[in-house]
Structure 1
Amino acid sequence: MFRLEDRLVVLTGATGGIGSVLARRLADAGARIVLADRTPPLPSEGTIGALTFDMAERGACAAAAAELQERFGLPDIVISNAGFTRAETLETTDGDAWEAELAINLSGARHFTDPLVAGMRKRGHGALVFISSVNALAHYGNPAYAAAKAGLLAYMRAIAVEAGPDGVRANAVCPGSVRTPAWDHRFEKSPDIAAAIVPLYPLGRMVRPEEVADAVLFLASDAASGITGVALPVDAGLTAGNTAFIRAIG
């Protein structure tokens, strides 16, 4: 039930740390994959094509959705994985950072997927999985990113409720700290950051990209055919409770 043979899948943010692992997992599951990113994705197993566009540009998103359908057809599954953040506190989140991060993390996801959702509703089936964040569930820094990822959950639920009667499912995965190259700038700034954050996670470690990819594969597959409108944390227990707090007061 976790197989995706002959399913056409489009994956945004395909060249990133999570995206590259997702592409491999989808290929292993038998999917036909269209990779999408703002830099040309490298072909890999299972890849039938690629799209290059900037999620921050509304027109580019609409054009990419049209190109996707013209060249490859309407996808069975959309995995909206593209994301970016650098404004880590309120003090470093100026107007430009706010607008840029909402454009990439929220508005771009909507502009690309909206025409695809419309096609799925007419066809009578489809599945979408959005990569949100634990930042959408509680505040762990990155205010603009958090607002965008929380908005992404609201958009996901809107699709689940309004397009559900037309056979379209929508869910989200909310990763915690995932050790990908996106963390490199933090480790360069604070080499001991891992030792500081690991105790906050009940499992005592950061999440692996493969664990996020497996959760996405589940939600995209027929194994989750009765699941829609769900935000699934993959966070090593971060949102379940605070181990460090318990130790501090114990």
Structure 2
Amino acid sequence: MPDNPPHPLGLAGRHVLITGAGGGIGRAMVAAFAGAGAMVSGADRDAATMAELPLAHRLAFDLTDAKACADACADLAGAGAAPEVLVNNAGFTRAETIGQVDETVWEREIAINLTGAFHITRPVVEAMAKRGGGAVVFVASVNALGHYGNPAYSAAKAGLVAYAKAIAVEMGEKGIRANVVCPGSVRTPAWDHRLAKDPAIFEDVVSHYPLGRMVSPEDVANATLFLASPLAAGVTGAVLPVDGGLTAGNLRFVRDIIERRK
């Protein structure tokens, strides 16, 4: 029988580390990268969330702990699995408006969503530079591009965009690429509690999206897979919205104002 052709994305055998691997988007990313033939390691605060995932290594640590992040990277390197691709997927927020943001909220969201990403990225990028290259993909949010609530989270995600651009510019000569995916509203289990309280909430959400639907975890995973792959070898410092058209314009304004005036 003829050998199976290589996967077109060119990630077969590449070592990939995905943070937040046990969450809704993380699980889709694990499946996507594993399906492309990559050797996938996952990181999350709770190892139990990753128990049944097809991972080569399961790392449980808190991204807000810089030493724990460095130790995890050293463990992967010692096991011969130093990441050639890093996907910074882990994140956290609650639905807050600016009046609800105090020092505690601000510090928590910046620590998890921005500083935590720095803690894991720094040692990985340093190792990539020594080996001669690698790819980093940050999962930010449309909140990094415009205001859709959650001010502290938005500030953190905008920080990821700036940090990715810094890596792209300063580490490009080392063969390292860094890009950002900015999802819109993603249908994950994180919505379940809100749906239980308000069964009509999805109708209100999708009315803002030109595609007429929420983004799926697989949509985000596929965009990340592309940016991490050799197919995007010439792409670095880019910000890719995966948002069903939300940032392209204001659909509700067109319907409620423009069409009503006719």
TM-score range, shorter chain: over 0.9
Match of 1:33 in 2: 40
Alignment of 1:44-193 (within 5 A): 44-45=53-54, 47-193=55-201
Note the C-alpha offset of 1:197.
1.5
Paired residue secondary structure (1:91) = helix
Instruction: Give the counterpart of 1:236 among 207, 224, 244.
Output: 244
Corresponding pairs, count: 249
Note the C-alpha offset of 1:209.
0.8
Note the C-alpha offset of 1:74.
2.0
Note the C-alpha offset of 1:43.
4.4
Match of 2:20 in 1: 13
Q: Provide, for residues 158-217 of structure 1, a one-character-per-residue CA deviation record: whole Å limited to 9, x for no partner.
A: 000000011000001000000001222332343321111211100111001111110000
Moved more, 69-78 or 136-145: 69-78
* Contact 1:132–1:172 (CA under 8 A) maintained in structure 2: yes
Residue 42 (str. 1) matches residue 51 (str. 2): yes
Unaligned runs of 5+ in 1: none
* Contact 1:51–1:68 (CA under 8 A) maintained in structure 2: no
Pick the structure with greater CA Rg.
2
CA distance, structure 1, for counterparts of residue 18 and residue 75 of structure 2: 14
Match of 1:4 in 2: 11
CA distance, structure 2, for counterparts of residue 24 and residue 197 of structure 1: 27
Match of 1:203 in 2: 211
Give the counterpart letter for 1:7 in structure 2. Answer: R
- What RMSD in Å do the two structures reach over aligned CA positions? 1.2
* Contact 2:168–2:178 (CA under 8 A) maintained in structure 1: yes
Give the counterpart letter for 2:10 in structure 1. Answer: R
Give the counterpart letter for 2:117 in structure 1. Answer: A
TM-score normalized by structure 2? 0.92
Match of 2:3 in 1: none
